[in-house]
Structures are given as C-alpha cells and as structure tokens.
Structure 1
Amino acid sequence: MLKIPVSIHDDLIAHAREGFPLEVCGILGGADDTVSAIYRMTNTDASNEHFMMEPREQFSVVKDLRAKGLAMLAIYHSHPETPARPSREDIRLALTPQVSHVIVSLANPGEPVVKSYKINDGNVEPEPLETI
C-alpha cells in the first residue's frame, strides 16, 4: 500500500491540471510506504500520450533523496484524456519493479482519479492507495 498525504495528493492533481493538455511527470519520495516529498519533473517529450523525464533532473532528485535519507517510492504521470490505468507504453517502459507507478487521470476534469500500480516484467498489479 502506498500512503500519500493529502497535500501531496492535491499537488499531483494540480500538476496534472497545470500541464494539461500534455502529460506531466514526477517522482514521489519517502520512507517505508509513506510519501513525504514530491518532485515535479520536465516531460521532455511534451506529449499528451507519453512522457520522458529529463535525465539531469532525475539525477538531482536521486541525489536529494539520498541526502535526506529517503527512497524513490513512485514515479507519477498524468493521463490528460484517458483513465488512470497503465498504457501499453507505460508497461513497456516500467523498468523499476520496486517502484510504484501513480497515474492521475483528468478524463473527467471535474473528478480527477489517482491510482497506483506495481508493474513488473509486463505484469500490472493495482496497488492500494491511501490518502492520509
């Protein structure tokens, strides 16, 4: 189970809305199963169908997480017009099985949906997500 504070959950949705109609992406850090930090990243693909994080930003985030004694718990991105479930491309590019994949859907802008998944070797498992 992934636990996300309300403030970070709200920031995920805000980031998705600010980036609309393009996908946004980022990293969630924390300890154990509880998120305590959000890092908004640049989607270098600037696409509404896929994302690619800027490598230098990723390196800086990993460095900052280590300095704070935190771990990368999740990679997040938005689906501006589709449901909060991994696309074929999301599954193909999920190369870190120990990290959760959080998706923010704006398919219904009045009711954003945030879901989490574990993706390992092409297998997708929904992961319980608790807002704390």
Structure 2
Amino acid sequence: MLTITQALYDQIVAHARKDHPDEACGVVAGPAGSDRPERFIPMLNAAMSPTFYEFDSGDLLRLYRELDDRDEDPVVIYHSHTATEAYPSRTDISYANEPGAHYVLVSTADTDGLGEFQFRSYRIVDGEVTEEEVKVVQAY
C-alpha cells in the first residue's frame, strides 16, 4: 500500500494538470529504506509528448547524485496519462527499473466518467504489474 500525504497527492495532481496535454513526470523521494514519500521533485518531460514521458538523462543523473548525497530513495515515481486510464503501458512497464518504488499514474483524461483524473499506484517488478491501495493522510 502507498501511504502519501494530502499535500504530496495534491502536488502530483497539480503537476499533471499543469503539463497537460503533455505527460508530466517526477519523483517523490524519502529517507532510504523508509518507504515514506516526503520530498516532491517535479521533473521535465524531455520528450514533451502527450503520449510518452522521458526523464532528461542529465537531470536524472543529477537527481540520483542528490538522492545519494541526502541518503534518500525514489519512493514514488510518477507520470501522467493524458488520454488513457491510469494504467501502465507496455513502455512504462519496460522502463520500470526501481523494484522498490511505487509507480503512480495520474490520468488527466476523463476515461471513466468519474471525474477529471484518476490517481493509481502500482508495483512493477520484473515486468509484473500489481495495483496497490493508495491511502491519503494529513501527516505521517
């Protein structure tokens, strides 16, 4: 289960809406080994595409150096889908290389008639996708 604060949830959704119609992407870092997302890190979608996201290689290198320096892990890796439901695509699955991370997808498309977006979380390990519950809390 992903437990995330309302503030972080709101920041991820706001980023997805701001970048629409392009996909938004980013990371929420937390203390190494804690599985507790704490620090919101919006990233630039280097692909600048409504159907694909890609972290800039230089930005990604800087991010991982910063995570190492701060003794943090990428607890949440998020991106948006602008025209489809919040479910990992084949490309998303192939690029999922952090087995300990929660992969959050936000859909900014109204694909199910339930509202403007969906916020869903998955574990992706060795190509296998498992949806998990999302618990939004005011504070940890």
Superposition TM-score, scaled by structure 1 size: 0.91
Bigger mean CA deviation after superposition, 57-66 or 24-33? 57-66
Task: For residue 70 of structure 1, report the CA deviation from its aligned partner.
Answer: 1.9
- The amino acid across from 1:63 in the alignment is R
SS of residue matched to 2:96: coil
CA distance in structure 1 between the aligned counterparts of 2:50 and 2:87, rounded to whole angstroms: 15
Name 2:83's counterpart in structure 1: 81
Q: Give structure 2 stretches of 5+ with no counterpart.
A: none
Task: For residue 76 of structure 1, report the CA deviation from its aligned partner.
Answer: 0.5
- Equivalent pairs counted in the alignment come to 132
CA distance in structure 2 between the aligned counterparts of 1:130 and 1:70, rounded to whole angstroms: 22
Name 1:39's counterpart in structure 2: 41
Q: Which one of the candidate residues 115, 124, 128 is aligned to 1:123? A: 128
Task: For residue 9 of structure 1, report the CA deviation from its aligned partner.
Answer: 0.6
Superposition TM-score, scaled by structure 2 size: 0.86
- The amino acid across from 1:10 in the alignment is D
SS of residue matched to 1:34: coil
Name 1:16's counterpart in structure 2: 16
Bigger mean CA deviation after superposition, 1-10 or 62-71? 62-71
Name 2:99's counterpart in structure 1: 97
RMSD: 1.6
Name 2:7's counterpart in structure 1: 7
Which residues in structure 2 correspond to 1:39-78 (within 5 Å)?
39-78=41-80
- Aligned: 1:112 with 2:103: no
Task: For residue 68 of structure 1, report the CA deviation from its aligned partner.
Answer: 2.5
What percentage of residue pairs aligned between the two structures are identical?
34
CA distance in structure 1 between the aligned counterparts of 2:46 and 2:38, rounded to whole angstroms: 25
Task: For residue 4 of structure 1, report the CA deviation from its aligned partner.
Answer: 1.3
SS of residue matched to 2:37: strand
SS of residue matched to 1:108: coil
Task: For residue 63 of structure 1, report the CA deviation from its aligned partner.
Answer: 2.3
SS of residue matched to 2:66: helix
Q: Give structure 1 stretches of 5+ with no counterpart.
A: none
CA distance in structure 2 between the aligned counterparts of 1:64 and 1:17, rounded to whole angstroms: 27
Bigger mean CA deviation after superposition, 4-13 or 94-103? 94-103
Task: For residue 103 of structure 1, report the CA deviation from its aligned partner.
Answer: 0.4
